[in-house]
Amino acid sequence: MSTATHVPVYRLTRRGRIVVFLLAVLLLAAAALALAGGSVATSEAEATETVVVLPGDTLWSIASDVVSDQGGRDVRDTVDHLVQLNDLDTKVLAAGQHLEVPAA
């Protein structure tokens, strides 16, 4: 005995294709706005100074130096601030690299 099930074939009309396309565009636009939300410019410029990364330096060690000079901030927050301030794609530093750090 064969119990074959009939699978219906669905086709999108022209209007349906337009709706799907517009939904995809809206989702992409929303994702782009969400990702760009972290790069909002501030009205006030922050005083910074440039440091040169030495062999063995890490963002954590540089942030610790900044915190000890300024006091009161959490090292984790300072690491995140350094990444944002220098527009870093990675948290790995190279010797000789120049970093902007908040001035003391």
- Residue 63: CATH number of its domain: 3.10.350.10
Looking at residue 2, what is its pLDDT? 66
At which residue do the structure tokens 């086709």 appear?
11
Q: By residue range, what is the domain housing residue 89? A: 48-102
Does 64 fall in a domain?
Answer: yes
Look at residue 22 and tell me if it is in a domain: no
pLDDT in tens, 50-90: 999 999 999 999 999 888 877 767 899 999 999 999 999 98
Asked if residue 13 belongs to a domain, the reply is no
In a domain, 65, yes or no: yes
- What span, in angstroms and rounded, lies between the C-alpha atoms of 7 and 66? 66
pLDDT score of 49 more than 80: yes
The pLDDT of residue 41 is 53
Residue with tokens 């992409």: 28
Tell whether pTM > 0.75.
no
